[in-house]
Each structure stands twice: as structure tokens, then as C-alpha cells.
Chain A
Amino acid sequence: MDNKKLNRREFINKGVRIGIGVGIGVIGYELLSRTLSSKTVWQIDPAKCIQCGKCATSCVLEQSAVKCLHVYQMCGYCDLCSGYLRPETKELTTGAENQLCPTSAIERKYIDDPYFEYHINEELCIGCGKCVKGCGAFGNGSLQLQVQHELCVNCNQCAIARECPSEAFSRVPASSPYLLKGFGGK
């Protein structure tokens, strides 16, 4: 009699097991038949970014993976760089008191009268976006905040994305991992 019971239990087990197997298969098939991507990474859409400063503080990494990138092709090489200098500055010098950047991460280099090159020192950049706002408001917008993929650990749920007030973070295909803004023109 016990043997019979055991057989019955095994039969039920087997049935459920097949059921679960089929269930997993159906879910797998269902998922595979949807939009798939080989790999996605987090990125900021500069068009939506409002430079709130949360990128500097919300990243799970001590040094935020968000950095300011300089799109040289869009830069006007201005002497009076509104991403580099504080607005109330009287003299156009490299003195720290004149610099907008809280960590002096922007390096200014004389090129040719009256043009200057600006270079972001990523070791110092904290991704606060202050220069991005200055450059966007008064200049060409060649400074843009982006997730630096060498630093980003690609969390399943980005901690900055959750804090971002303008929903500027999204997942993008790893094959084109940057969303730099093009030149809008007049």
C-alpha cells in the first residue's frame, strides 16, 4: 500500500515538474519573442538634463560615474567662457576665484588670439553640471553631462536615475552608448 502511495506522489511530482518546466519555457519564449537588446547601458539625454547637481551626489560610486564631456567641435573657444568663468568676474584670468567649477576641473589653454581651449580634467570633475548650465545658457552648449562608461558599474537600477528630477536617464544600446547633443543652429 505504501508503495502505491509513493508511486502516486511521484506521479504528481512529475506532473507538476513538467508543468513548471512548460511554464518556464512559455515565459522564456514569450520574453524572447519581445523586443530584445544585446546589452544596454545608462545614459543622460542632455536635452532633458537640467543640471540639478544630483549626478554629483546620487551615484552609488564615491566618485560619480557622470562626468562633463567637452565636445570640442561645438566649442566657440571663447575668451569669455561662460562655462569656465563666474558671471560676476571682472578680469578674464585663470584665478581660482574667477572659476565657476567648484573643483577647478576645467583647464584653460591659450591657442590663438582671442581663442582658448578648455579641457576637462576628469579626475577632478564631480559631475555637478555647473559649467554645463553656464555653457548651455550663454554659450554653444559644448559641455555636456554624460555617464562615463569606463567608470559606470551599470547597476540594474541606476541610483541617479531614480533621483533625476527630469527623467533624463534612460537605458541605451551599448553599441551607441553616448547621447551627445548635436548642433542646433539658429
Chain B
Amino acid sequence: MKQKLIIGFSVILLLTVVYLIGSDLFTNSSKHDENPTEYKIDKLRQIDSSLICYKEINHFNSGMSKAKGLAIDENNTIYIAGNKQVLLFNSSGIKTGGFKMDTLAHCLAVDNDQIYLGAGNRILQYNIAGEQISSWPAFNPKSFITSIALNGNHIYAADAINRRVFKYNKNGNLVWEIGKKDTAKGFEGFVIPSPYFEVAFGAYNDMWAVNPGKHLVQNFSVEGEIQSSWGLTSFSIEGFSGCCNPSHIAILPNGEFVTYEKGLERIKIYDPTGKFRCVVAGPESFMRKEDLILKIAPCVVDLAVDNEGTIYVLDANNMVKVFVKK
């Protein structure tokens, strides 16, 4: 009798095990448990919509696979550099021309139908017909040019690897370089933790360079001496966050700054003194809802403005988005 009891009990236990395994296998266990250690970047990416002062009026596909640089000339022609070519578009996004090159350029600047491109450790000059006019090596073979600006007869190239801005004349001769730490003159040097380093000229021929590791935008004289800086380190809307921001800037005809901040993915306007004014576009303009939670790669590749104050944004999907004031 006792033995039968033991057998019965054991067999029931055995069947319980089988049942446990079976139910665990076939019950749909899509657990949506809270992650106690979640880093909610979508919360940080929220923007008060009342701060948005621009609207998107147009967008077009560049048709390029690795679009890297965006520039606009005085006639409001749009130039896009990337995948071993440069393409030209008019302001409504219709392709008007283009040419092929041997190398992948990461940035470009245009003046008087002359196109200057930064391609790794070389600076190239092309005319609008696609003929290479000249080219010269940057500072050293390790150089990586992330931004080019033109002013008068000079070419300014930002070299993220050497942490210097180089000024060249039209023959490619070096005039000066800035970036060395000079505590006497109040310059701490550029802190550039990743390949985001911009140089740009304002409406009054004022030269600005971004110091991304310090979240500063800094003004230099044409002689290369530091004049002033602005910028605030903060995740709030007024400041810049993360390790290398603003990663791209452009200056509007009225002297206001357009900044792009990777990570939080926001494009903002600062007044000429560096005071936050408003937001051009928040992450919703470049990301889908699910990207807001997860996406960590930058969404914007370059920024440019035309002479009417329209803002053009080249995004990581090779699209150009056009924003005007509301």
C-alpha cells in the first residue's frame, strides 16, 4: 500500500515536471518588464513645441549613397559632396549638374564657381565644369579635413586630427595655423574627441570655429587670435551636450548661428551674442518614434544656409530638408 502511494506520488510529480516544461515552452512569454537600468534618452530628446520657430517647406533626395558635405553659393545653388562626386541642385531641389571625382570628399565650400573640397588629407579645387584646377596636401598625411570655409582670397580648413585650423592662400600656401594652446592670450586649444570640427564665416567676415570638446563656438581675428567665445554645457535646450557638440554650424545673413547637436538631434538658432533663441527642428524631423528611444548614430551630416536665410539640412539618409522661418 505504502509503495503504491510512493509510486503514485512520484508519477504525479514527474507529470508535473513535464507539464511545467510544456507550459513554459508554449505559453507566449513576451514579457514587457521594466528595465531598471534603462537610460531614457527619448525623455532628453523631448522638445517644447512652442520653441520651434522654423518649419520644413521642402525636402528632396540627393540620390547619392554617401552624401557628406553641403554648401550653397551666392546664387543659391546647392552643392552636395559625397560618394566620389559632387552634385548641383537648384533651390527647389532639381538636379542641375554634377561631376565625378577620384576621392570621397567630406566637406566643401563654393565661391565664384570655384569648388574647394576637403578629401581626407588633401584639399582639392574644382571648377563648375568638373575640372580639377589644383590640389595640395593638408598639414600632414594624418590630417582629416572636416570643414572648409572661404573668405576673400583665402581658404580655411579645419583639421580634426591635428586640432588646427589652417589658412591657405589660393595657391595652396599656408598663411597661418591656429589651435596651439596659448594661455597668455586666453586660448586653451581645441578639444576634439571625434571627427567633428567646423569653421565658418559670418556676414561681417568674422571667423568662427567650434571647440566641440568644450561646447564652445569661438571667434578669431583674421590674424588668428582669439576674440571671444560663447557656449554652455548642458542637456537643457539652451546648452550643448555630449562629447563633441555643436558638431555642425552655419551662420545666417543676419549673424545668427544655426547649430546642429548630435545625440539629442536638435538644430537650434543662437543670436550673434550666443544667446539661445529658438529651435529649427527637433529629433522628430529626422527620426521615427522608435528611433527616439534607441538610435544613437548622428542623423544629420551637414548644414548650410542661403543668402535669404533658408536653412538646408543634409541628413544621414542622403535627404536634403529645407527649413524657413514660421
| Contact, chains A and B (beta carbon distance below 8 A) | yes
B191 interface hit (Cβ, 8 Å)? yes
- Asked if A82 contacts B244 (CB within 8 A), the reply is no
What is the chain A residue whose CB lies nearest that of B241?
A138
- Asked if B39 contacts A102 (CB within 8 A), the reply is no
Q: How far is the CA of A75 from the CA of B194 in the complex (A)?
A: 9
A177 interface hit (Cβ, 8 Å)? no
Q: How far is the CA of A184 from the CA of B213 in the complex (A)?
A: 18
Residues on B with beta carbons closer than 8 Å to the beta carbon of A69? none
CB-CB under 8 A for A133 and B213, given A53-B37, A87-B235:
no
Q: How far is the CA of A133 from the CA of B296 in the complex (A)?
A: 8
Bin chain A's interface residue count: 20 to 34
CB-CB under 8 A for A76 and B213, given A82-B263, A87-B44, A141-B296:
yes
- Asked if A133 contacts B41 (CB within 8 A), the reply is yes
- Asked if B39 contacts A140 (CB within 8 A), the reply is no
What is the chain B residue whose CB lies nearest that of A139?
B243
B321 interface hit (Cβ, 8 Å)? no
- Asked if A186 contacts B68 (CB within 8 A), the reply is yes
Residues on A with beta carbons closer than 8 Å to the beta carbon of B263? 82, 137-138
Residues on A with beta carbons closer than 8 Å to the beta carbon of B241? 82, 87, 138
Interface string of A121-148 (1 = CB under 8 A from B): 0000010111001101111110000000
- Asked if A82 contacts B106 (CB within 8 A), the reply is no
A43 interface hit (Cβ, 8 Å)? no
Residues on B with beta carbons closer than 8 Å to the beta carbon of A136? 296
What is the chain B residue whose CB lies nearest that of A133?
B39
- Asked if A185 contacts B35 (CB within 8 A), the reply is no
A42 interface hit (Cβ, 8 Å)? no
- Asked if A102 contacts B37 (CB within 8 A), the reply is yes
- Asked if B243 contacts A128 (CB within 8 A), the reply is no
Identify which of B241, B242, B245 gathers the most chain A CB atoms within 10 Å of its CB: B242
B195 interface hit (Cβ, 8 Å)? yes
Would you list 26 pairs from A and B whose C-beta atoms are within 8 A, ordered by A residue?
A: A50-B294, A51-B39, A52-B35, A52-B38, A53-B36, A76-B194, A76-B213, A76-B243, A77-B193, A80-B233, A80-B242, A81-B243, A87-B44, A114-B213, A126-B37, A128-B37, A130-B39, A133-B39, A134-B39, A137-B242, A138-B245, A139-B194, A139-B243, A140-B193, A186-B195, A186-B196
Return the 8 tightest CB-CB contacts between A and B, nearest first: A76-B193, A138-B242, A53-B35, A138-B263, A128-B37, A136-B296, A139-B243, A137-B296
Where the two chains meet, the residues of B that have a C-beta atom closer than 8 Å to any C-beta of A are 35-39, 41, 44, 68, 106, 144, 146, 188, 191, 193-196, 213-215, 233, 235, 241-245, 262-264, 294, 296-297, 301
